[in-house]
Amino acid sequence: MSSAVRAVNALTARWAAALPGDGTAFTGAGVWPLLALLADGAGGAARGELAEAVGVPAEGAAAGARGLLAAIGAMRGVRSALGLWTHEEIPLESHWLAALPDRVHERLSGDPVPDQARLDAWAARCTDGRIASMSVDVDEDTRLVLAGALTVRTDWIRPFTTGWLDPESGPWRGRGLAGLYRVSRLLDRVGVAQSPVGPITVLRVLGAQGVDVHLFLGAEEAAPGQVLSAAVQTLSRRSSVLPGDQLPYGEPGPGLSVARVPSFDGEPRLWVQTAAFTVSARHDLLDHADLFGLRTASDLTRGHFPGISSKPLAVQAAGQATTATFGALGFRSASITALSGAAAGMPQYRYRARRISAHFDRPFGFLAVHRASRLVLNAGWVTEPEAGADLFG
């Protein structure tokens, strides 16, 4: 699975770099298996473009997709589903269909209204209602839909304390936000990574289900896509992150201060404040056709998937809908990705100790990461945090 994890994270980093600076959420782990399955069945130029996008040879891509889906399905707190719908006019190649998980193939009637209703119901069911509709629309020309669902649920090992967050500077200045607060003696939960866009402050919030959420704060002038792309790279280069207990005094990273202060017990402390958030986004993957290897594959004038069907097929539409929520008790996310084919008071002290304060009180990025494999399950950028009280009651 390690090669697939590297390939998925590489795609996630490239996608992050291509996104605008608005609040967003996305999952490379949701789109990668679909692209890999397409690569296995593609021919000509489309096969080479898709293989380059997924970062593995086309001939082994389907096996990689199936292995990744099985591994994701075995992760605690993570659920995935794959769906394939085809019109009766589209015969499928048996070897390609055999590479898919069992019992995923259903039929399209050819009538867009009931077909769309069935696909929307599947999306809602597979995401526990967090996403109400499929990420592509079907029409009279739709002959194939390949879709993936991915949900992540992790509860914090130590919940945050809720309260008001009122930033004194930056774009969130003067707003009454839903603040999340935590004090810990574990200084290595925070660190500073050096990147091509300068230092990035990294905070890791541990989940009980083996999925952690990493928050990333870059320099104010750094573009969101640059920060997120660099953030993904830190997962494979852990030595690039200097942990909190080794940080110099002063302000070694964005939103971060390290000082030696009076202490009642002499123990170090990490003080964290961040904002609760919910971010939702819809993406048209064809807006970045080259990134996803879909440039040639979406040329409707001819077929590109002889390994899927003897009938000529091209990619008609490709989209992803994602939502992610970070609150006092945990993190929840859901995504639907589909491709269609046509024909976050000081007491009295006797001692002094190290204190680190981390403030995520302006736009920041996040990654939901499977702890053991380092697979990025969900990513995003927060520009509009939640106002008011704790999200999870």
Q: What is the pLDDT, as a whole number, of residue 354?
A: 75
Q: What is the pLDDT, as a whole number, of residue 351?
A: 67
Domain containing residue 356: CATH number: 2.30.39.10
> Which of 2, 1, 3, 32 has the alpha carbon at shortest distance from 15?
32
Assess if residue 392 is contained within a domain. no
Same domain, residue pair 234 and 107: no
Assess if residue 393 is contained within a domain. no
Assess if residue 80 is contained within a domain. yes
Q: Give the sheet arrangement for strand 256-263, strand by strand.
A: 161-165, 177-184, 269-275, 351-359, 256-263
Same domain, residue pair 230 and 283: no
> Which of 152, 150, 146 has the alpha carbon at shortest distance from 104?
146
Domain containing residue 110: CATH number: 3.30.497.10
The tally of domains found in the chain comes to 2
Are 27 and 379 contacting, i.e. CB atoms less than 8 angstroms apart? yes
Q: What is the pLDDT, as a whole number, of residue 350?
A: 60
Query: The dihedral of CA 349, 352, 353, 354: what is its sign?
Result: positive
Q: What is the pLDDT, as a whole number, of residue 343?
A: 54
Q: CA-to-CA distance for 340 and 347, rounded, in angstroms? A: 61
Which pTM does this prediction carry?
0.90
Q: Which residue is associated with the tokens 């200084």? A: 187
Coil/strand/helix, residue 83 = strand
Assess if residue 296 is contained within a domain. yes
Assess if residue 99 is contained within a domain. yes
Assess if residue 390 is contained within a domain. no
Same domain, residue pair 147 and 186: no
Q: Residue length, the chain?
A: 393
Are 177 and 164 contacting, i.e. CB atoms less than 8 angstroms apart? yes
Residue 162's identity, in one-letter code, is: T
Same domain, residue pair 58 and 145: yes
Same domain, residue pair 168 and 237: yes
> Which of 72, 22, 67 has the alpha carbon at shortest distance from 368?
72
Same domain, residue pair 14 and 76: yes
Q: What is the pLDDT, as a whole number, of residue 348?
A: 44
Q: CA-to-CA distance for 56 and 16, rounded, in angstroms? A: 20
Which residue range is the domain that position 188 belongs to? 155-276+345-382
How many CA atoms are closer than 13 Å to the CA of 31, on its beta-carbon side? Answer: 33
Same domain, residue pair 12 and 36: yes
Assess if residue 324 is contained within a domain. yes
Are 142 and 120 contacting, i.e. CB atoms less than 8 angstroms apart? no
Contacting residues for 137 by C-beta, under 8 A, at least 6 apart: 112, 116, 317
Which residues of the chain, if any, have pLDDT below 70? 1, 238-239, 343-351, 388-393
Local structure of residue 335 (DSSP, 8 states) = E
Q: What is the pLDDT, as a whole number, of residue 135?
A: 87
Q: What is the pLDDT, as a whole number, of residue 347?
A: 41
Same domain, residue pair 257 and 190: yes
Distances in Å between the Cα of 29 and the Cα atoms of 15, 213, 277 are 11, 15, 21
Are 98 and 321 contacting, i.e. CB atoms less than 8 angstroms apart? no
Residue 251's identity, in one-letter code, is: E
Same domain, residue pair 202 and 64: no
Same domain, residue pair 122 and 174: no
How many CA atoms are closer than 13 Å to the CA of 122, on its beta-carbon side? Answer: 27
Assess if residue 13 is contained within a domain. yes
Are 278 and 386 contacting, i.e. CB atoms less than 8 angstroms apart? yes
Same domain, residue pair 112 and 254: no
Burial string for 336-356 (b: 16+ CB within 10 Å, else e) reads: bbbbbbbebeeeeeeeebbbb
Same domain, residue pair 282 and 148: yes
